Homo-oligomer: A and B are copies of this chain.
Amino acid sequence: MAVTIKNIADACNVSRGTVDRALNNRGKINPEKKELILAKAKELGYKPNYIARSLKRGKTNTIGIIVFNLYNEFFSSLINSMEEKAKEKDYHIDLALTHYDKNTEKKCVESMIRRQVDGLILCSVNNEKDYSSWLQKFNIPVVSLANKISNKIPYISIDDRRAMKDAAQYVADKGYDRIIYISPPLAYEDTHNIYALKQRFEGFSQVNMEHESIIINSKDYIKELETINILEYKTAILCTSDIYALEVLNYLKEKKIKIPSQVGVMGFDNINMLKYIEPHLTTVSYPIEQIGAIAIDSISQAIENGNKIQNMVITHEIIIGESL
């Protein structure tokens, strides 16, 4: 059994209240007694029970974080930055992964609620109409990242529409006259919230190319690519995630198609591992670590001061590589 305040109180022949005062510098206390108590606490290896403290205070100092998975470096970078910022603000993070499943996501939220997290940061795929009201019912601050839930839930992100428009325009300016646009999640509109990807698609659609674009929204996008004569026209393959672009690069290398002389490739996210990839991938930076830090900052303020969290748009940037 762990050492409790009561154990210390008994050992020092004082009351639990006095021990509490000594340990937490509360109110007036006889300095000698205080020293004795602190010494005893150390001797016994006392560690306060935060579960009990949380129950009493109604605050766990924990922020629940729900993301898809950690296979995409995008999310591990996000968690990394949040953990660091949270530690700095004396918060703990509670992590759960949804693997893109909306029911898993709801279960994760409920689990967080039962564990009384003080706030929730969410990368959501849930597309249910009343999802944001469902979330608000729990009466804790919620922030969404990577995918907007609704106007009722604060959302911190880049301007996805503008970013993809910029990307497509960059492709056009480079002299390409056809784009193959790869965005598998677009096929999941009925079952998933794909807000950000729809935004990107809209942005992409605003740029006119000489030849009609080809949209690939299949999970087997490489298989789909095989059915297309890639070398027709001056073609660029524009991907909505670096991960897709990396798979595409692998495919093109296998087919001995030269990048960028025969076909251009562009990604999205600018994940760290790109520095090891050849040719250097042209992509769009998504400052996810910065966004993670901001999210923790905002939510901790919302928790502590009741501040309303504002939507925020962080600037993106075209990262020029050698794949286009």
Contacts and interface: CB of A to CB of B under 8 A. Distances in A.
Given A51-B51, A249-B276, A276-B249, A97 B114 contact: no
Contacts of A70: 70, 76-77, 79-80
B95 A93 contact: yes
A50 interface: yes
Contacts of A95: 79, 83, 93, 95
A110 interface: yes
A80 B84 contact: no
Interface in A188-232: none
**Which of A70, A77, A250 has its CB near the most chain B CB atoms (within 10 A)?**
A70
B111 A84 contact: no
Size bin of chain A's contact surface: 35 or more
A60 B71 contact: no
Given A51-B55, A115-B92, A276-B250, A69 B73 contact: no
Interface stretch (A7-15, A41-49, A148-156, A178-186): A41-49
A86 to B, nearest CB: 10
A133 to B, nearest CB: 12
Contacts of A87: 96
Interface in A240-291: 246, 249-250, 253, 272-273, 275-278
- Which 7 A/B pairs are nearest by Cβ-Cβ distance? A70-B76, A76-B76, A246-B276, A50-B114, A70-B80, A51-B116, A50-B115
